[in-house]
Each structure stands twice: as C-alpha cells, then as structure tokens.
Chain A
C-alpha cells in the first residue's frame, strides 16, 4: 500500500497475556519508529530502527516490551505479560532515513490495545 499500515487495528487482551503488534512501513523507508499514545502520558517515543538495527531503545518502558524488524521492512512490537497500564494506542511511523533532523515521519493508523 501507499502508506504505513498496522495490524490489528484493535486488540483486547487479558492481563498477563502476550500480544504482538505489526507495522508495515512505506516501501523504501529505512527508518521506523514506534510511539505510544495514552491519555495520561500523551505521545511517547518507544524505539527507533534504522534498517534492522535498533540504535535507540530508550523509550521502552520495561523489559516486557521488545521489538524487532526483519528484512528492513516489517516490524513487530511484542508486549509480554500485559498489564492494565499498557492500554494505549500504539503508533508506528516510517521515514526515508539518512536525512538527519529534516526527515519527515509518516504515521500508520495505530493499534488500540485494551488490557482487561
């Protein structure tokens, strides 16, 4: 597709279960970002990929959160042993990469995660 896609669009899970969120970036974009949007915390950076490497994981809130990217394309964000405070909208963004601070990020529609 032309834009960033994410799946699922909505995910309801029980506390303690693991979840996987998927992001398909814009074709040709080498940089990929995950953000989290919640009512109390606003928009927070989670992790950045350049190609398949993640040079910045500083925003991951705990070791229950992990992410990978394969083939320089699709990325998966995994949350283990989900907690109610993990409920949020998880947004993925991609950009061309290699353009420094001028690089514009384009966002997907997000995955709304609800932990019961």
Chain B
C-alpha cells in the first residue's frame, strides 16, 4: 500500500530564511508523481510543485524546490526566502500509475513564518 509520511507537525522559520519540509513515501510502483500543496487558513488547496518518478532533475517553481532522493524515497520541499504569506499547512501527496491518479496525502506540516 502507498503511504506518505510527514514527520514535522509544526515548523517555524524566520522571515527571509530558507526552510525544508520533510516528506517520505512508500510505494511499490515504478511510475508515480509527487506533489506539494499549500493550504492557508482560508482552506483552499494550492498546487505548488510536482516531481515525476522518472525526472532526473529536481523540480523548481520560483521560491519552491523539491529535493527528490529516489533511493531514500524522500521528496522534501524547500522554500527559499520565506515570506509571512508562506504561513500555512503544507501537504505532500503521491499519485501512481495504478491508482487512477488519486492522491494519497500526508498528515501535513504547519509552517509559521515569524517576522
């Protein structure tokens, strides 16, 4: 069975500093996708970044990058130059070729950015 583990229930970071949110996954599939979503207090899930299992380069989207280590089955999110608006819940999720692409989510990490 597939599983996503986010071991940090809460993190805090100083504004303008970088922060890494951890995500490990478990799957027996060879083809899968890894996603990060942000959920502010308003409740909407905002897509941030995607990494495919066959992608050799780490994905980057603006201030977001995904540190993909396939052998360790980890897909950590790095946020550079944190901003106050980055305070939110962050979810790591996985889709696979065998599951109609339904997303399996981790429990999430609550990030607080301090001025």
The answer to whether B43 touches A101, judged by C-beta atoms less than 8 angstroms apart, is no
**Secondary structure class of chain A's binding surface, majority of residues:** strand
- How far is the CB of A108 from the nearest CB of chain B, in Å? 7
A65-116: which have CB < 8 Å to B? 89, 91, 93, 95, 100-110, 112
The answer to whether B101 touches A31, judged by C-beta atoms less than 8 angstroms apart, is yes
Is B64 located at the chain interface by the 8 A CB criterion? no
Chain B residues, CB < 8 A from A31:
101
**Chain A interface residue count: which class?**
20 to 34
Known: A101-B32, A102-B33, A102-B52. A43 touches B91 (CB 8 A): yes
Question: Cα distance A76–B91 when bound, in Å?
Answer: 26
CB < 8 Å neighbour of B50 from A35, A91, A104, A112: A104
The answer to whether A107 touches B52, judged by C-beta atoms less than 8 angstroms apart, is no
The answer to whether B100 touches A100, judged by C-beta atoms less than 8 angstroms apart, is no
CB < 8 Å neighbour of A108 from B32, B44, B99, B100: B44
The answer to whether A107 touches B95, judged by C-beta atoms less than 8 angstroms apart, is no
Chain A residues, CB < 8 A from B103:
33, 35, 43, 45, 93, 105
The answer to whether A104 touches B35, judged by C-beta atoms less than 8 angstroms apart, is yes
Count of residues in B whose CB is under 8 Å from the partner chain: 29
Question: Cα distance A104–B103 when bound, in Å?
Answer: 10
The answer to whether A104 touches B47, judged by C-beta atoms less than 8 angstroms apart, is yes
CB < 8 Å neighbour of B43 from A50, A59, A89, A93: A89
Chain A residues, CB < 8 A from B97:
100-101
Is A56 located at the chain interface by the 8 A CB criterion? yes
- How far is the CB of B89 from the nearest CB of chain A, in Å? 10
Known: A33-B102, A101-B33. 9 other contacts (CB 8 A): A42-B107, A56-B100, A100-B31, A100-B101, A103-B101, A104-B50, A105-B35, A107-B46, A109-B43
A-B contact pairs, 14 of them (CB 8 A): A42-B107, A45-B104, A48-B102, A93-B45, A93-B103, A95-B101, A101-B32, A101-B53, A103-B95, A105-B47, A105-B101, A105-B103, A107-B46, A108-B44
